[in-house]
Amino acid sequence: MTGWVTAAMKYLTLIRHAKSSWKDAYLLDIDRPLNKRGKRDAPVMGKRLADRADGPDLMVSSPATRALATAEIFAEEIEYPLDEIVVDERIYGADAVELLEIIRGFDDALDRVMCFGHNPGLADLVEYLAPYTIGNLPTCGIVELEYDTETWESIGRIEPTQVTFDYPKKPSTSSIYLERLG
């Protein structure tokens, strides 16, 4: 008797930090906190994500205060342990190539990874990975990419099987499943 073969999948969720404060001109960029809108949007977006996706095997964040605060709020919404969020210094200020290198280095035993970071690196990475044009990745924007693969090393070498794009100002509570452009 032949058993069913299940396809291996990798799920990559890229999340731009929620809206940050520019109130204190003396703060270093890395130390800027979330502003009122960011604190309002992050739980809403975390809940939306929790309602449609399984929880991650790993959450990894930039060390920037605004990115880590966003990751922590999402973790609370999806019931991910706060002390298991991995802070990766390389994400802060990373461009698309550097972010892709980080992603390709994930342990293949992990199937679902959420990465919290910044533009322009995240927006450029989405433009590279997805065969779609989304333009700007807004604050607290979420791009979910599904891949039919067993390895993180193949990300960027194969196209995702599905891409979902969601952001706070989107008019409805359902996500946008991107259609191929062109």
Is the CB of residue 160 less than 8 Å from the CB of residue 149? Answer: no
Whether residue 6 lies inside any domain: the answer is no
Helices (H) and strands (E) in the chain, counts: 4, 7
Higher pLDDT, 132 or 86: 86
Q: Model confidence over 124-164: pLDDT tens digits? A: 999 999 987 778 899 999 999 999 999 999 999 999 999 99
Q: Model confidence over 88-129: pLDDT tens digits? A: 999 999 999 999 999 999 999 999 999 999 999 999 999 999
Whether residue 8 lies inside any domain: the answer is no
Whether residue 165 lies inside any domain: the answer is yes
| CB-based burial label for 157 (10 Å; 0-12, 13-18, 19+) | exposed
Whether residue 44 lies inside any domain: the answer is yes
Quickly list DSSP for 1-31: -PPPPPPP-EEEEEEEPPPB----TTS-GGG
Whether residue 166 lies inside any domain: the answer is yes
pLDDT at 6: 52
Report how many domains make up the chain: 1
Whether residue 158 lies inside any domain: the answer is yes
Is the CB of residue 45 less than 8 Å from the CB of residue 173? Answer: no
Whether residue 182 lies inside any domain: the answer is no
- If you count them, how many residues does the chain have? 182
Separation in Å, CA 93 to CA 41, 160, 177: 23, 25, 28
Closest-CA residue to 66 (of 122, 117, 136) = 117
Q: Look up residue 130 and give its DSSP letter.
A: S
Closest-CA residue to 71 (of 84, 83, 59, 53) = 59
Q: Is the pLDDT of residue 4 over 90?
A: no
Range of the domain at 126: 14-177
Whether residue 33 lies inside any domain: the answer is yes
Q: How far apart are CA 67 and CA 17, in angstroms?
A: 5
Looking at residue 108, which CATH number applies to its domain? 3.40.50.1240
pTM, full prediction: 0.90
Tell me the HSE value of 54 on the side-chain side, using a 13 A CA sphere: 11
Tell me the HSE value of 151 on the side-chain side, using a 13 A CA sphere: 7
